[in-house]
Every structure is written in structure tokens, then in C-alpha cells.
Amino acid sequence: MKREKFGIKENHIFIIATMALIVLLYGYGSIAFAGFFSTQVFLNLFIDNAYLIIVATGMAFVIITGGIDLSVGALVALISMVSASLLEAGLNGFVVMALSLLIGIAFGAFQGYFIYRFDLHPWIVTLAGMFLARGASFLISTDSIVITNETYSAISQAKVYLFGDHYISIGAVVAIIVVAIAIYIAKWTRFGRNVYAIGGNVKSAGLMGLPVKRTTILVYVFSGFCSALGGVVFTLYMLSGYGLHLLGMEMDAIAACVIGGILLTGGFGYLIGPTLGVMSMGIIQTIIMFQGTLSSWWTKIAVGFLLFVFILLQRLIVMKRRKRNVIRLKKVRNNVKVQSPSQSVSSEYK
């Protein structure tokens, strides 16, 4: 990569901006409210948002390939419902977890197959998936089911102690492991490279002989798996199953990805990004909670504003890069003028 004058890689701008945002928000909270600057408050961010971190990380892969997965929130609700009802029927806790993950994988595989095989818009297919998952969880029961299973309560109450008497939950540990694995997959495996290549340009990826079909389907499988895992973690966190859990959570996951610097046009983004995005959203929530008088809907407005700022930032950087690419292209092919107003850099070569 070419280095910029002031020594920051252009690719890192998003991550740096998000980190700066986290520091800024956390700094503001620490100054404004007593008791904000404590290790436990910080660790609570992971405990309360563990499921969202997992789901957003899965979503990140999909977005990097240029797709989208709207079914995640509904899938989490479905998993919570399925596990609650299965546990009520007296199944072993670990069997239920395994079944939940299998449901997620199967769900993702179906969506990926439809999207690839019939060239359908991911938006539409996953929208149908969302309806299906929500509807299915209502079919199981329209009421909330409380979980009393011993395994689940034990895991949900377990505390992993870090630094003396500060702790995180098992869910948070799972989330951190998932993020670590995701970073490894994206950076050091062939699959990860393929994901970026497809996001950059599907056609050239296909011409290069990369397995477009397998990768596309696997990406949705991974997202489905992450949603299911997020569902298990969320069920442990809430200890109840309900079809209306997490309405509109898919938008939170997308917002986390955008704030974390994953380009929605695909082909670019670091897998630590969604975690940072979730954390900054979590900090906003905590600030509003500490503030006390502000109502919870201010969270939505603040997150929306952040989304706006980060999307603009993305846009500016893409525009800059495109300009540079067009100049480079002009140098190569002097008399051919290529212009593509609404797409990213990559689509100019289509």
C-alpha cells in the first residue's frame, strides 16, 4: 500500500476514526459522570453487547462480499424461541445449543444458495428469511417463554474474572473468540482473500478462477452461524425466548459495520471494525443511561447521526480514491474515458 504523507495508511482511517470516537465518547462520559470511568463499566459493554458483536462480525463478511443479511435479528429471536421451547420440553442444554447452531447454518446455506443460484437480490432473499424466521418463532408460541434449565442458568450466571474482582460473562468470552477467529479468517486464509476479491469485483474474481459460488454460499452460512451463536448468547443473557426479541436489530448490526469502517459497496473493511462500532454504540447507550434524564430514543438519534458522519467519511474517501484511479487509468489508456458515477472504483472495470 502507498503511504500517505503524514504516515497513516489511508486504509486505516476508518479504524482510527472509530477508535478516536470511542476514546472521545468514553472520555466525555468519564468527565461528565462519576463512576463512569471504571473497569466494570467498560467490561459491561462487552457483556451487554456480546450477541451484537457476534452477529455484526458475521454480517461484516456478507457486507464485504457486497451483499447484505437482513435476517439476523429475526434469526436471533427464532433461536431464543427454539431453545426456550426445547428446554421446556426437557432437552439437554448442550444438545439445544448444538441444534441452534445447526439451524443457523442451514438457514444461512439456504439463503446463500438462493442468492447465488437464481441471482436474486440479497436484500429480497434475506428479507424473506427475516419474515420466515419471525413467523416461525411466532408459530412456536406468541408468548414469552422463560428458561429455567439448569445448564443455561449456570452458564448465564458464570463470571470470568479479569483484573481482580472485575468480570465478564461467558457470552462476552465467546464474542471475543469469534472476533479473533474472524480476524484470522479474513486476514490469513484463502477463504478470507476470496471474500475480499468477490467484494471488489465478482466478475474478475470469477475470471481469476476463484470459487465464487462456494464463497458466496459460505459467507451466508457464516453469517447464519454467527446469528445462531449470537442467538445462543442472547438467550443466555435474557434467559427467555420471545418472538419479538430484538426487533430491528439487523439495522444495529449494519450500523455497527458502517461505523466500524466496513464499506457497504463491498471489498473493504477490517474485521475488528464491527466490534468497535458496537462499542461506540454501547458507550452512547451507557452515557444516556448515566445521564438519566434523556430518554432512550436519543440513542437512536445519536446512532443515526454517527451513521451519517461515517457514511459521509466513507463516501469522501471512495471519491478520492476513484479520482486517483481515473487519473491512473487515463494515463494507461489515454483516449478512453471511463466514468461510473454511482458505483465504487471496482465497477469501472466491468
Partner 1 sequence: MNPFLYRMAQTKIFWPLVALLVLLLLNFFLIPGFFSVEIKNGHLFGSLIDIMNRVIPLLIISIGMTLVIAKEGIDISVGSVLAISGALAAYIMESSTVWVALIAAVGVGIVCGMWNGVLVSIFEIQPMVATLILLTVGRGIAQLITGGQILTIDDELYKYIGSGFLMGLPFSIFIGGAIFLIMLYMKKRTAMGLFLESIGNNITASKFAGIQPRKIIFLVYTISGVCAAIAGIIVSANVSSADANNAGLWIELDAILAVVIGGTSMRGGRYFLGGTVVGALFIQTLSTTIYSVGINPQIVMVVKAFVVIIVCLVQSEQFRSIFMQFNKKKVSF
Sole binder of partner 1 in the list 222, 303, 345, 346 (CB under 8 A) = 303
Q: How far is the CB of 274 from partner 1 (least distance, A)?
A: 16
129 grid coordinates: 428469511
The sign of the dihedral angle between the CA atoms of 55, 58, 60, 62 is negative
Burial of 226 (0-12, 13-18, 19+ CB in 10 A): buried
Q: Does 312 bind partner 1 (CB under 8 A)?
A: yes
Quick count: other Cβ atoms within 10 Å of Cβ 72?
A: 36
Closest CA to 84 of 31, 142, 131, 123: 142
- Stretch near partner 1 under the rule CB under 8 A, chosen from 33-41, 134-142, 166-174, 285-293: 134-142
> Closest CB to partner 1 among 188 and 308?
308
CA–CA gap between residue 136 and residue 140 (Å, rounded): 7
**Cα 110–chain centre separation:** 20
- Stretch near partner 1 under the rule CB under 8 A, chosen from 44-52, 83-91, 114-122, 163-171: 114-122
Provide the 3-class DSSP secondary structure of residue 93: helix
> Closest CB to partner 1 among 77 and 174?
77
- Stretch near partner 1 under the rule CB under 8 A, chosen from 3-11, 99-107, 110-118, 283-291: 110-118
CA–CA gap between residue 102 and residue 96 (Å, rounded): 10
Q: How far is the CB of 72 from partner 1 (least distance, A)?
A: 15
Q: How far is the CB of 98 from partner 1 (least distance, A)?
A: 25
Binding mask 39-68 for partner 1 (x = CB under 8 A): -----------------------------x
Closest CA to 104 of 220, 183, 242, 216: 220
Provide the 3-class DSSP secondary structure of residue 96: helix
Q: Does 340 bind partner 1 (CB under 8 A)?
A: yes
Q: Which residues neighbour 187 within 8 Å (Cβ) at sequence distance 6 or greater?
A: 271
> Closest CB to partner 1 among 55 and 168?
55
Binding mask 173-212 for partner 1 (x = CB under 8 A): ----------------------------------------
35 grid coordinates: 463512576
Q: Does 132 bind partner 1 (CB under 8 A)?
A: yes
For 276-315, give one letter per residue: b (16+ CB within 10 A) or e. bbbbbbbbbbbbbeeeeeeeeeebeebbeebbeebeebbe
Q: How far is the CB of 292 from partner 1 (least distance, A)?
A: 15
Binding mask 281-300 for partner 1 (x = CB under 8 A): --------------x-xxxx
Binding mask 244-273 for partner 1 (x = CB under 8 A): ---x---x--xx--x-----xx--------
Q: At what angle do helices 297-332 and 273-291 cross, to 10 degrees?
A: 150
- Stretch near partner 1 under the rule CB under 8 A, chosen from 52-60, 165-173, 283-291, 338-346: 338-346
Q: At what angle do helices 212-238 and 150-157 cross, to 10 degrees?
A: 90
Q: How far is the CB of 87 from partner 1 (least distance, A)?
A: 21
Q: Does 131 bind partner 1 (CB under 8 A)?
A: yes
| Residue numbers at the binding site for partner 1 (CB under 8 A) | 68, 114, 117-121, 123-125, 127-132, 134-136, 138-139, 142, 243, 247, 251, 254-255, 258, 264-265, 295, 297-301, 303-305, 307-308, 311-312, 315, 319, 339-342
